[in-house]
Structure 1
Amino acid sequence: MNILAIESSCDETSAAVLADGQLKSNIIATQLVHEQYGGVVPELASRAHQQHILPVVARALADANIAKTDLSAIAFTRGPGLLGSLLVGASFAKALALGLNIPLIEVNHMQAHILAHFIDDQEGASPKPKPSFPFLCLTVSGGHTQLVQINSPLDMEVIGQTQDDAVGEAFDKSAKLLNLPYPGGPLIDNYARTGNPLAYKFPMGEMPGLDFSFSGIKTAILYFLRDNVRANPDFITQNLPDICASIQHTLVQMLLTKLKRAARETGIRDIAIAGGVSANSGLRSALTQLGTEQNWTIYIPRFEYCTDNAAMIAMAAHFKYIQGDFTDQTVSPLPRMSF
């Protein structure tokens, strides 16, 4: 079973090859054009995907030493994501599958982030530990914040989610307020390493049940910085590590508070994280510590599988291929695709 997978939901053009469940290649082309604009420009992203997709796919097949005629199926991200970006990947995948007369497999981007935990190491060593079903996954990215109960690879239920902004956006918008370049989330993480997480206190807010809200804390950070800069124009530069550490600590605690409640309510003790924000060192460290305190078994993805990549799309497609869950050529991208 040789699956070529294509990921093009936002600003990463990626292709991967999975052979009998083993990852053979995972190529990612990053779009640097967005840095000057302080965020992803959808039209520029779709144009860059058109430029990158052919060489990225060719490299993925070459690195895997697999010819197009040896492929069993083509997988692609159907959504959620930017419509123009999704169209490039979907159109390419549909055309290639049609030309080769092989099955087409659509993949939910957020489900794929979760299933990245099942990607085997490529070096031939023993597979990394994988979650047992059922398990809980905190899925955190620039566009999503969700608590998901995973009963099987193809049976997932969202039990909590943000009602406004995503935690990744809260990181990036805070970085912009601090005059940090895009993407700012990782820079907050870097500065936070040397700062005091308790230097400044921000309101965490509260949502009923297992849902999240991050709009309030973004406003609180805006006013906090505005008032302090008025009193001292050099406030940010003089206190940047402490500010970053305090912002990160608050956001992480907002996430883990709900995760702890979800584990208590479901009785599930296998806990995972996924998505771009799962690369955050503060979240990874705090989750590990909380797991020890709560006697949880913690699963944290490798850094290369946190951000958008086609390996996770291939892994999701692997499970769908086994079930014969294929897609017809009439399928269209769904920018707001849900579980």
Structure 2
Amino acid sequence: MLSPLRVFTRTRLLPGHHRIASQCRSLLTLAIETSCDDTSVAIVEKHKDASATLHFHKKVTANTAAYNGIHPVIALESHQSSLAPLLQEALNHLPPSQPHSDPCNALHHGNTSRIKPDFISATRGPGMRSNLSVGLDAGKALAVAWNVPVIGVHHMQAHALTPRLVSALESKVSSGPTFPFLSALVSGGHSMLIESTGLADHKILATTGDIALGDCLDKAARAILPPHLAVPPYGRALEQFAFPAGASDYNYTAPAKRDAELARRVTKWGWGLGAPLAGSKNGSSSRKMIYSFSGLLSSIERFVRFEYDHQNATISSRIRQPGDLSDDERRDMAREVMRVAFEHLASRVLLHLSSLPPTEAAKVRSVVVSGGVAANCFLRHVMRAFLDVRGYSHVELFFPPVELCTDNAAMIGWAGIEMWEAGWRSQLSVRPIKTWSMDPSATDGGILGVEGWSKV
């Protein structure tokens, strides 16, 4: 539910004046997100007391169900047809301007005079370049038309900052994660563990060496689920099938020791899923700071397709016939693939924390889990249980609300506000970036290493 609209007296930051942002009564931004298949527009306002109001937030997701995944052309066409109507609708939700306010700071929309945004926030990358262009070009056009600046936002930075937006929306100014904190960013395209020490300082601690966690779960869902239930979003369908009664179905106990974590748990069906990277000699690869989900997916696909030879405890060459795989066995497969995947995600958090000197580890009080996979309630349960049983119950976990886990413009607007307050602006010449690191030590220099930034 959107927060109620609140109107505050405002001191505007005009393009020709470099006024310190903290002196403003509030900051208002119109935000656009078009990095993948979600077209989203939001109007975000941050007030003087550091609370925030979400005046408008809406998105349209491209219908690519017929392609068993994201189809770039269909997603692009969805952006092209959806963005302008969303922007038109958003204008009706800009706060009304006050009587006797500066007319240069107002927009006349219909019969109402509304406050002009201080700046435009638009996703610049990473993502599909053509899709990004739709939103970024629209944002630059609005900036020119309204004579306001634009900020090209880093999509993954916005995911990492989402819990800070949530705290501001709830007026819990002191309860959001403060730097330094860890960020596990997990989606269909990304699986990263990041050490966030500042607004634009995010060190990549671990990333996937093959496929992303969300991609693994989506493909596992299409293999496991009965055909009539295999509908997008596949990850959500997998969770609902695995736990029809929700948390009461979990029956999960986190492994208290590392050897228990790496052990293959054999199910009543005879098969068991091994932990990723645990199969190397002496388990040496199991401590590498890397994520790997392709082997887990391959195991599930083999178990679904081929019969299990109970006598020899191996996968046979006999292909399963229709009806051979019962719903009960499918449900156990769904539960096991999520358990193993989520424990693997949590294990890298623990490996990093345990590698730090005690004084440094004590400084890490928060872990942010964001991205589309963070909407999975079983993941939230596993991550909390895993940290608690290994002695990290003092570390607070931050999960955005489900509606803010997937790609959205509200997080883009908040990231834009934080960058604005730090004095960063984007030049009108900026172009979309397909691949853009968050890490300042990366070859592209990270968030601030690319061309097009200016500092005021």
Q: What TM-score, normalized by structure 1, do the two folds share?
A: 0.93
Quick check: 1:291–1:298 contact (8 Å CA) kept in 2? Answer: no
Counterpart for residue 33 of structure 2: 7
The verdict on how the C-alpha distance between 1:241 and 1:100 changes in structure 2, with shifts beyond 3 A counting, is same
| Pick aligned residue for 1:169 from 215, 227, 239 | 215
Whole-Å Cα distance in 1 between the matches of residues 85 and 206 of structure 2? 39
**Within 2, Cα distance between the matches of 1:17 and 1:170?**
34
In 1, distance between residues paired with 2:128 and 2:324? 37
Instruction: Give 1:202 deviation, angstroms.
Output: 1.4
Residue equivalent to 2:4: none
Paired residue type of 1:190 = Q
Q: Say which SS state the counterpart of residue 286 (structure 1) adopts.
A: helix
Kept after mapping to 1: 8 A contact 2:62/2:74: no
DSSP 3-state at the match of 2:64 = helix
The answer to whether 1:51 aligns with 2:81 is yes
User: Residue 332 of structure 2: which of 242, 257, 265 is its match?
Assistant: 242
Query: How far is 1:133 from its partner?
Result: 1.5
1:333 deviation in Å? Answer: 0.7
Instruction: Report if the CA contact (8 A) 2:30-2:41 is conserved.
Output: yes
User: Aligned residues: percent identity?
Assistant: 29
Change in 2 beyond 3 A, CA 1:121/1:159: closer
Q: CA deviation at 1:335?
A: 1.4
Matched, 1:262 2:352: yes
Query: Deviation at 1:165?
Result: 0.7
Q: Equivalent residues in 2 for 1:19-168 (5 A)?
A: 19-20=45-46, 22-65=52-95, 68=107, 70-120=116-166, 126-127=172-173, 129-168=175-214
Q: CA deviation at 1:225?
A: 1.3
Aligned CA distance change for structure 1 residues 333 and 227 (closer, same or farther; 3 Å): same
Given the alignment, which residue of 185, 188, 199 partners 2:238? Answer: 188
Q: Which amino acid aligns with 1:146?
A: M
Please give the alpha-carbon distance, in whole angstroms, between the structure 2 residues aligned to 1:216 and 1:120. 36
- SS of 2:75's partner is helix
Q: Deviations over 1:117-142 (max 9, x none)?
A: 11146876545821122111111000
- Which residue is equivalent to 1:223? 302
Alignment-mate amino acid for residue 233 of structure 1: P
Which whole-Å CA distance do the structure 2 matches of 1:35 and 1:166 have between them?
A: 20
Compare the two structures and name the one with the higher helix fraction.
1
Match of 2:368 in 1: 272
The 1:306–1:201 alpha-carbon spacing in structure 2 relative to 1, beyond 3 Å, is: same
1:233 aligns with 2:322: yes
User: Is 2:348 aligned against 1:253?
Assistant: no
Query: In structure 2, the residue corresponding to 1:234 is in which secondary structure?
Result: coil
Counterpart in the other structure of 1:283: 379
What is the DSSP-based 3-state SS (H/G/I as helix, E as strand, rest coil) of the residue aligned with 2:424? coil
Matched residue SS, 1:164: coil
TM-score, length basis structure 2 = 0.70
Whole-angstrom distance in 2 between the partners of 1:61 and 1:263: 46
Matched, 1:331 2:430: yes
* Distance apart, 1:57 and its partner CA: 1.9
- 3-state SS of 2:425 partner: coil
Q: Distance in 2 between matches of 1:250 and 1:50?
A: 39
Report the AA paired with residue 31 of structure 2: A
Question: Is this contact kept in 2: 1:25–1:61, CA < 8 A?
Answer: no
Q: Which amino acid aligns with 2:386?
A: L
- Tell me, which stretches of 5 or more residues in structure 1 are unaligned? none
Counterpart code for 1:136: L
Contact 2:59–2:408 (Cα < 8 Å) also in 1:
no
Structure 1 counterpart of 2:181, one-letter code: F
Letter in 2 for 1:264: S
Provide the alpha-carbon RMSD of the alignment: 2.2
Asked if structure 2 preserves the Cα contact closer than 8 Å seen for 1:79 and 1:336, the reply is: yes
Higher relative contact order (CA 8 A, sep 6+): 1
Distance 1:253 1:92, change over 3 A: same
How far is the alpha carbon of 1:32 from its aligned partner? 4.7
Determine helix, strand or coil for the equivalent of 1:76.
strand
1:293-335 Cα offsets, whole Å, 9 max, x none, are 3222221211111011111101111111012211112211111
Q: Highest CA radius of gyration, 1 or 2?
A: 2
Q: CA deviation at 1:258?
A: 1.1
**8 A Cα contact 2:300 2:333, kept in partner:** no
Mapping of residues 175-214 of structure 1, within 5 Å? 175-178=221-224, 179=227, 180-194=230-244, 199=267, 200-206=271-277, 207=285, 209-214=288-293
- Which deviates more from structure 2 when the two are superposed, residues 248-257 or residues 200-209? 200-209
Partner of 2:63, secondary structure, is: helix
Residues 43, 330 of structure 1: alpha-carbon distance in 2 compared, 3 angstrom cutoff:
same
Shift of 1:93: 0.6
> Which amino acid in 2 is paired with 1:6?
I
Q: In the alignment, is the contact (CA less than 8 A) between 2:30 and 2:42 conserved in 1?
A: yes
Write the distance in 1 (CA, Å) between the matches of 2:367 and 2:427.
35
60-69 or 3-12, which deviates more: 60-69
